[in-house]
Structures are given as structure tokens and as C-alpha cells.
A and B are shown apart, each in its own frame.
Chain A
């Protein structure tokens, strides 16, 4: 066994990012672009035109064979065998206590073929768990993270940019659908998924094709406002869209019910699954706290880890999980876990911003929904 925890992994686009003058950051052991210029400009480009992301750090694990669907029904909280071929679904993998190990997208690429996409920080755990949980099923689990690069084109102009590069009719690729395609001469798995709250596509390709695909997308996006976009704006985009981030809104200490994602837990599956007993009990008794959106009337930003306070007594009642100045709303926004009786939109709360109780208001999630 060798540890790769401290080894910096580089995507096939590493030199491209450097040539663009990107500010690079370590993310889950990967050297990734944080931003190329202004992260606010990148955020706005995705909302108004398009952004191009390198997401090669994401983990890809394939599960194939006659019992692949049954194995995933057992391993994950979702009803994977009900996913149609060429469709994708958002789901989670939980431990025996119902604690969230990761949130995932499962692509059904064939009748007996699935690809599970995991967060970079959890890819090894997910691969290991899937392998263990698939024991006894007629299926093969393979960690293919090294075999894929992942690029994403996100924003309202994504279709216009991609359409001239492929013969595939993009209109038939609906939201959360996926298909094999050739884009700019490169074989890809093209999925209409994303993490920005905008229309867009994610393209899985061989690492050796990544630079060619990136350059072709940039060229095609030139007249459509497409700019390279880094992980910094990806975080503010997903926060505005009310999407959870593992390690912030999702942890092993929480079940999907606290995160308002109980809908992904399919207790109606004919057979039990890992965590099903604990999750059924939690569903019955109700969550212990709940995830809410917060918006500040002031300018100081509630950040992850700050305490949420009762505005009268200043007693801590919860914790901020993510917070940022929202480029779209022009105000600080955050997500936080609070008691159920403080979760109603319009409730006034406070946040301990480095020693000062700053007022915040509970607002409905998402903060931003595309027209």
C-alpha cells in the first residue's frame, strides 16, 4: 500500500491552466484552477453566457454486469434499477447509521452498465465501499478515475457552443440525460448535468483528448462569451443554486433528511439497502435540524463554521455550512443548519461574525433559479 494523500495530482490540462495565468489551488490532492482572473467575472459569465470548467478531479467508478443495478440498489439510497438507459440521477451513499458518505450522480450508460461520479475528496472511499457492497452480486466494480478527464460547459449559451461541434441532436439530451457522442472529433460521454444552476453539459473524455477538446470548446465559445472558469466561481454558483457541497452541507454526522434531501432515499425499494433501517427510523422521527438559506441585510459575510445565534439571547442555535458574497444577489448569502422551529422563511436570526452578532434572515432555497 502506498499513500497518495500528499501527492499532488495534475489534470491533463495543467499546462493549459498555467499558460492562462490561473491561480492554482490544492483540492483534495489535485492541483486545480481556482480562478483565471476575476472569479466574479467568471461567475457572471456562467450566469449570462458560458463558462468552461476542468473537473477532472471528480471520481468515476463503473459498475457493470448482470446484477449491477441490484448491487447499486443495495449500495446506494436511490432506486438505481429504475433509472432508464442514458439517464442520470442524483443520489447518495450512506453508512449503516444513515450518515452521508458522499453525494453522487449515477449515469446508466447501458442496460447493465453504470458510471458513478463521486466527489474528489471521497472518490477512494466510494470506490472501496462500492467494491465491498457489491460482494455477492454478479457485477464488476472498477475505479476508472485515472481513465477520464471531465470538462464542463455551463451557462445559457452552452447549447449554441456545443451544437456545431457534434452530430448529436442536443435537444434530445434532456436535463439529467447522457449519451455517447463525438464532440470536435473526440469520443465523450456527454451529460446534461452540472453544479451551477444553469443549463449545461459535462463531457467525460480520455485524458489524452482533454487538451484538444478544451481548445475546440474555447474556439467554439469565442463568439458566445465563453471564458475559462475556476473552482472559486463554481462554489458561489452552486451556493446560489442551493446545491449542497460534501464536507459542508453533507457529512457522515447527517442523514439526507437533515439536508432536505429525503426524496433521494427510496425506502420503497423491495430489498433493504445499506443504511435503510437507520434511515427509515430517521424518516419516522423526523430530522434533528434542517438546512436553511440565510441572507444578510448587511455586508459582512457569514462564513462556514460561524455560529448561528438567537437574535435576542445571542445563544448559539446552529452553524453556517457555506457562505459567500452572492454576485447575482449582491448580498451575503449562506446555508446553515438550524432547529426546525427556526427554519421558516422570514425568521430573523443572527450570525456571530468574528465577535459581532450580525442580523440574517431565513430565505427559501434556492437563492437563484434560472428563468
Chain B
């Protein structure tokens, strides 16, 4: 079963909208958390922003359709999209099976390094945040 305890990787930062981003370089890789993927159920369609487009922290930049619902993808930080994951567009189930790996969504050249972006959570803070029912 897929619904065991959810652990968020320590090397990532998280938004309260359930996106994660990498901190070891710019551009940063962005995806959605296991917690969010589990809540969505089977993802069947992924719509990602265009390469070259601007994304703004807290604003929608794409969509995830699952069996039961549709959810916006919220950018966790400001920047410019430099790459989108074509593999996840072709096989949206990667979001469920490997949300921190092959199920990544976009790479964004951040305006400010991830560590300096306001409002992002550490793995422990994010786990505590989701444990409170978010």
C-alpha cells in the first residue's frame, strides 16, 4: 500500500501549497510533495508552464488533474521557467510513484536563492505543518 508514513526529504524546502524545491543550485527543481500526491490520488493529466515564462511565488503556474479533482500548481518562488519535465507530461503517474524524483515538474531560475525566499519550510517544519491537518 502507498499510504504509509510520509517522509519529506531533508535536503528540500517546501511551500505551504505543498510544492518542494531544491536548494543546491540555481535553477531549482520544483515538484509536489508526497503528501500532496497522496491527497490528489492518481494524477492523469499535468499541465505545465511554457519554458521562458515567469512564475510568481504563491501564484498558479500549472494544473494537476486526478481522478477526483483538479489542483493548481503554485510556484514556491519567483523566477523564470528554464525546463519542464516532458516525461511527467507523457506519464502523469510519475507524480504519484516518484514525486521527489522522476515526478519532478519544472526547473526555475530563481530571482533569489531558495534559502533566501520568504515563507518556505524545512522538511521538519513541513511535516509538522501537514500533521496538523493541512
Contact = CB atoms under 8 A, between A and B. Distances in A.
B4 interface: yes
A303 B45 CA distance: 14
Contact of B3 (A21, A236, A325): A21
A86 to B, nearest CB: 37
Q: How big is the A interface, by class?
A: 20 to 34
Contacts of B67: 39-40, 232, 236, 324-325, 327
B128 interface: no
Interface string B56-80: 0000000101011110000000000
B82 interface: no
B38 interface: yes
Interface string B1-32: 11110000000000000000000000000000
A232 B1 contact: no
Contact of B41 (A22, A35, A299): A35
A51 to B, nearest CB: 15
B58 to A, nearest CB: 18
A39 B42 contact: yes
A331 to B, nearest CB: 10
Given A23-B38, A39-B67, A301-B65, A325 B2 contact: no
B3 A23 contact: yes
B123 interface: no
Interface residues of B, number: 17
A163 interface: no
A20 interface: yes
Interface in A250-306: 299-301, 303
B44 interface: yes
Given A22-B3, A37-B2, A37-B3, A301 B42 contact: no
Interface in A318-364: 324-325, 327, 354
A327 B1 CA distance: 20
Nearest to B97: A38
Interface in A28-46: 34-40
Contacts of B38: 23
B1 A21 contact: yes
Nearest to A22: B3
Contacts of A39: 41-42, 67-68
Contacts of B45: 299-301, 325
Nearest to B47: A300
Contacts of B41: 23, 34-35, 38-39, 232
B108 to A, nearest CB: 23
Contact of A303 (B1, B3, B4, B70): B70
B33 interface: no
Nearest to A233: B67
B91 to A, nearest CB: 13
B65 A38 contact: no
Contacts of A235: 68
Contacts of B4: 21
B1 A37 contact: yes
A23 B3 CA distance: 7
B34 interface: no
A38 B38 CA distance: 9
A39 B70 CA distance: 15
B73 to A, nearest CB: 13
A44 to B, nearest CB: 11
B46 to A, nearest CB: 9
B42 A21 contact: no
The 10 closest A-B pairs by CB, nearest first: A21-B1, A21-B3, A325-B44, A40-B42, A299-B45, A37-B2, A39-B67, A37-B1, A301-B65, A38-B42
Given A34-B41, A37-B2, 20 more contacts: A20-B1, A22-B3, A23-B3, A36-B1, A37-B3, A38-B2, A38-B41, A38-B96, A39-B68, A40-B42, A232-B41, A236-B67, A299-B45, A300-B63, A301-B44, A301-B45, A303-B69, A324-B67, A325-B65, A325-B67
